[in-house]
Amino acid sequence: MRLRPTPEERQFADLAAEWLSRNVPREPRPPAGEPMAAFDRAWQRLQYDAGWAGVAWPKEYGGAGLSLVEQMIWFEQCARFDAPEPGVLNIALGHAGPVLIAEGTDTQRQDHLAAILRGDQVWAQGFSEPEAGSDLAALRTRGVVDGDHLVVDGTKIWTTGAHLSDWQELLVRTDPAAARHRGLSFAIVDLTTPGVEVRPITAMDGKVHFAQVFYDGVRIPLRNLVGGLGDGWKVAMTTLGFERGTMTLGTVIRLLKLIDDVKELARTRVDCRGQPLSTSDEVAARLADLEAEGVALHALAVAFVSEVKRTGSSSAGSMIRPLYAELSQRVKRTGAELLGRDGLTTDGTDEAARFVPAYLHSFGHTIGTGTAEVQRNVIAHRVLGLPRG
Amino acid sequence: MDLYPTDEQRELVTAARAVTRAGAADVWTAATGQGWLALGLPEDAGGLGGSLADEARLYAEIGASAVAGPVLATSTAVRVAASAGRLDLVERLAEGRAGHAFATTGSVVAFDARDADVLLLVDEESGSLRLVPMTDAMVVADLTPLDPAVTAERVDLSGGEVLAEVTGAAAEHELVRAAVLVAAMLAGITNAATDLSVAYAGLREQFGKPIGAFQAISHRCADMAMRARAATAVTDFAAVSVDEHHPDARRRVAAARRHTETAALENTRATIQVHGATGFTWEHDAHRLLKRATFLAAGFLPRTAQTEALTA
């Protein structure tokens, strides 16, 4: 075991640091809508042109062909230089791309992978429905084969970024007679196709993160199927690992920095007697717990990428996402609570603007990408081998 | 960056597991006979020159067995003797065992002192470790320990003879190592409690199916597994950071100590509950794991010291 970088890892980190120090955008990211998406696309394009996009993607698909270890080092350097997050490109880079690499056809890969790395395509997922949340296999949106097209009718909901997206991954029921997991197919859909309607939904923090999408006789070419007809569940399950393991690595590293910021907040803010909050035993113990859990999560992420590099897989992948989600909630909640009455506005101070919206937004962490409860089911069944209920 | 255990580490774990699963007496025989006490001691002091990461993997297995014997106290005593230049004492201790106390003067509670050759006296406040000779005459009273894996004695320390002492950076180094190995044992306990719970949840049937099919049980098990996986990772992370003199090593050690303490206590409490009335019996191992975790949690680098290191 070693944490010290090899000469190659050191060189990679140094090159990344050197490039990031000169290229991280100085202007703030616009808060919403198309200007925000344009900012994210431009930052991605900058990375792509310099060869930093898709660090762990295979070279044949435009990536750098390196391992998750280098991907992790890249995220560490990004956090160090406060580089913008993937933002609206999160699903494209973290999910749609890896799905197409694993399961897509050559044409699909050619049409989308380079475009995703360039930041030219914004993607959304299309899994949850009004009557199919945690019970995903209960989904009802129908796809009927008509000649060389799939005709889709139904609705998807809680679709993050759908209102800003160009493409969507879509899980639909193509065989109503088959057993519920067997009758599903996985397609990709151009969201400009006639019959698609996107209605944004405002979340509890007052912002639009997601939308409901309606499909009315939407014609999707059969060549846009990923896997064959009826393979949808298999394709959707293969992708669980990307989302819950790899996609979380970057956010884990950023969370460590946020924990530092909460500690700093406790040092700079004072209680009613003028003493720094950090001098209270209760606050100090709470911050120590957050710091310890942050280091443990960092260690688990390093153990995860190490095991994947050495053996090809790691069951820690299913654990990083729920641990991250719950720790992140605690960190953001602590930040908001340390603000006291200053936490009663979302813009009264710089600290309030930083922590209060983050706190409100964090309630979604244990709901999106599979609830905390569903993630525990996955660990219980797939990692621990416990029987299903 | 590579936290995957080496082939040697995995062989060490397999060998250790074969011994620790065999029962109490054999653990101590192995500790002396297979050189566990000297694993991390430098070769020029007669040790095997293993890394702290190697030792951590070994101590996780010792922790999981919950029947440790004074392995950490004795291996630390050997190191204190070596560090103080008392190689004669190192040799004597190769066959001996050390008790320990977190105090240096007066009438104090010590552990595993009754059959010990020396006592390791730890003063974390001033940062010193001291070895004093142990005689039966020093035992004022035999006490009832919370943790059945140790003995507890009230001991009179007024005798005054000191065999060896380390202070300053040398003592600091020993305290950090001991804290990592406490974390390792706690990580082992965290994993052992998970394994016990998962095995039982898959076997025990109620309402016509294994209790592990109920989310009230399976989610508890999933939580335990997450804590266990993170406990192992953060212990490796801290141990390697110490081995490599990483600038963040102290903070990482405190984090490992804090995480594994919380995880071990949570998991051992949970495993008693998962086992129902069986888990409440003396015969079942669940309470031994809880008591071992409680004992270790009070050991090297306790909570207040962790808090200080983690909020600095």
The domain ranges of chain B are: 169-311
Residue A199 pairs in a beta bridge with A212
Q: What percent of chain B has pLDDT over 90?
A: 85
Specify burial of residue A119 (Cβ count, 10 A radius: 0-12, 13-18, 19+): buried
Q: Which residue would you say has higher pLDDT here, A80 or B26?
A: A80
CA distance to A52, A387, B70, B166, per residue, from B226 (Å): 32, 18, 29, 39
Give the residue among B21, B72, B272, B22 at the shortest CA–CA distance from B186. Answer: B72
pLDDT of residue B220: 98
- End-of-domain residue from the set A206, A230, A254: A230
Contact A296 B234 (CB under 8 A): yes
pLDDT of residue A242: 60
Q: Is pLDDT above 90 for B310?
A: yes
| Residue A339 placed within a domain | yes
CATH number at residue A295: 1.20.140.10
Contact A285 B307 (CB under 8 A): yes
Nearest to A2 among B2, B209, B238 (CB): B2
pLDDT of residue B24: 59
Integer Cα distance of B202 and B214 in angstroms: 11
Q: Are residues A266 and A376 in the same domain?
A: yes
Q: Which of B58, B221, B236, B310 to mutate to test the interface with A (most CBs of A within 10 A)?
A: B310
Average pLDDT (A296-305) is 96
Contact A319 B229 (CB under 8 A): yes
CA distance A149 to chain B (A): 42
How many helices (H) and strands (E) would you count in chain B? 11, 9
Q: What percent of chain B has pLDDT over 70?
A: 99
Nearest to B201 among A1, A306, A386 (CB): A386
For residues B188 and B240, the answer to whether their CB atoms sit within 8 Å is: no
CATH number at residue A221: 2.40.110.10
Nearest to A386 among B202, B259, B262 (CB): B202
Q: Strand, coil or helix: what is A188?
A: strand
Q: Are residues A106 and A218 in the same domain?
A: no
pLDDT of residue B18: 87
Integer Cα distance of A151 and A193 in angstroms: 11
Q: Is pLDDT above 80 for B68?
A: no
The per-residue pLDDT for range B78-90, each reduced to its tens digit, is 999 999 999 999 9
Contact B215 A289 (CB under 8 A): no
CA distance B308 to chain A (A): 8
Mean pLDDT of all residues belonging to chain A: 95
CA distance A382 to chain B (A): 10
pLDDT of residue A350: 93
Contact A300 B229 (CB under 8 A): yes
Q: Are residues A16 and A116 in the same domain?
A: yes
Tokens of A253: 């590293």
Chain B residue closest in CA terms to A324: B226
Cβ burial A194-220 (10 Å sphere, 16+ → b, else e): eebebeeeeeebeebbbbbbbbeebeb
- End-of-domain residue from the set A86, A121, A156: A121
| Residue A388 placed within a domain | no
Q: Read off the pLDDT band of B32 (50, 70, 90).
A: confident
Integer Cα distance of B73 and A209 in angstroms: 56
Active site residues of A: 243
- Quickly list DSSP for B71-119: HHHHHHHHHHHHHTT-HHHHHHHTS--EEEES-SSSEEEEES-TT-SEE
CA distance B240 to chain A (A): 6
| E strand or H helix at A160 | strand A149-160
The per-residue pLDDT for range A329-340, each reduced to its tens digit, is 999 999 999 999
For chain A, state the CA radius of gyration. 22
Q: Which of B6, B203, B229 to mutate to test the interface with A (most CBs of A within 10 A)?
A: B229
Contact A295 B218 (CB under 8 A): no
- Quickly list DSSP for A336-387: HHHTGGGGGSSSSSHHHHHHHHHHHHGGGGGTTTS-HHHHHHHIIIIIS-PP
Backbone angles phi, psi at A225, to 5 degrees: -70, 135
A-chain residues near B305 (CB < 8 A)? none
Contact B254 A292 (CB under 8 A): yes
pLDDT of residue B25: 65
- End-of-domain residue from the set A69, A94, A121: A121
Domain hosting A189: range is 124-230
Nearest to A306 among B1, B262, B306 (CB): B1
pLDDT of residue A376: 97
Contact B2 A294 (CB under 8 A): no
Backbone angles phi, psi at B194, to 5 degrees: -65, -50
> A with B: how many residue pairs have Cβ under 8 Å apart?
174
Q: Are residues A185 and A206 in the same domain?
A: yes
Beta-carbon-side half-sphere exposure of residue A132 (alpha carbons within 13 Å): 19
CA distance to A13, A73, B1, B68, B69, per residue, from A6 (Å): 10, 12, 8, 37, 39
pLDDT of residue B53: 98
Q: Read off the pLDDT band of B23 (50, 70, 90).
A: low
Nearest to B219 among A288, A309, A376 (CB): A376
Q: Work out the number of other CB atoms within 10 angstroms of the CB of residue A18.
A: 11
The per-residue pLDDT for range A207-247, each reduced to its tens digit, is 999 999 999 999 999 999 999 999 999 999 876 666 666 77
What is the CATH T-level fold of the domain B169-311, as seen in this structure?
A: Butyryl-CoA Dehydrogenase, subunit A; domain 3 (1.20.140)
Tokens of A131: 């009557």
The per-residue pLDDT for range A250-279, each reduced to its tens digit, is 899 999 999 999 999 999 999 989 999 999
**Number of domains comprising chain A:** 3
CA distance B236 to chain A (A): 8
ipTM score assigned to the predicted complex: 0.96
Contact B4 A303 (CB under 8 A): yes
B94 residue type, one letter = A
The per-residue pLDDT for range A341-384, each reduced to its tens digit, is 999 999 999 999 999 999 999 999 999 988 999 999 999 999 99
